[in-house]
Structure 1
């Protein structure tokens, strides 16, 4: 009779451990599923954010390119106006231009001596 008492106690413990073990396995499996879903959502969100940032960067690049082209055109027009004004000044005042060039040359020579 003592054998059956110990045997029945063991089977109850094994059944309890088995139930506990299967419950833990189910929880681990559920956590794996949730983790996989979370990973999928994070990946999807990351792709969405990267596409959004890429489009914003593309728009910013296009705007920067457009503005730089406008600035380059303005600089070219300013250079052309300056060149035209300088030619007109030299034609209208040739002696003053020679005097200014001579003074500039003397100033450079004086500074180069030091």
Structure 2
């Protein structure tokens, strides 16, 4: 009789543990499914944000390129204007130009001797 009491108690415990174990396995499986869904959503969100940032970077690059081309044109025009003004000044004042060049040469020679 003692055997049957312990056996029936053990059977109930094993049944309870089995139910408990089954419940945990079901919860683990549900968590795996939720984690897979979350991973999929995060991946999708990351792709969308990546595409958005890539688009913004591309637009910024295009704008930067356009601005740099404009700046380069302005610098070229400024250089051309400066060169033209210098030629005109040399043509109008040749003696002053020679004197300025000589003074500049003497200043360089004086600084080089030190």
TM-score range, shorter chain: over 0.9
Give the equivalent residue in structure 2 for 1:79: 79
- Deviation string 1:26-71 (CA, Å, 9 cap, x unpaired) is 0100111111111111111111111111000000000000000000
- For residues 1-114 of structure 1, the aligned pairs below 5 Å read 1-114=1-114
Q: TM-score, normalised by structure 1?
A: 0.98
Q: Deviating runs (4+, > 2 A) in structure 1?
A: none
Compute the RMSD of aligned alpha carbons: 0.6
Give the unaligned 5+ runs of structure 1. Answer: none
* Gapped regions of structure 2 (runs ≥ 5): none
Q: Take 2:9 and 2:72, find their aligned partners in 1: how far apart are those partners?
A: 92
Task: State how many pairs are aligned.
Answer: 114
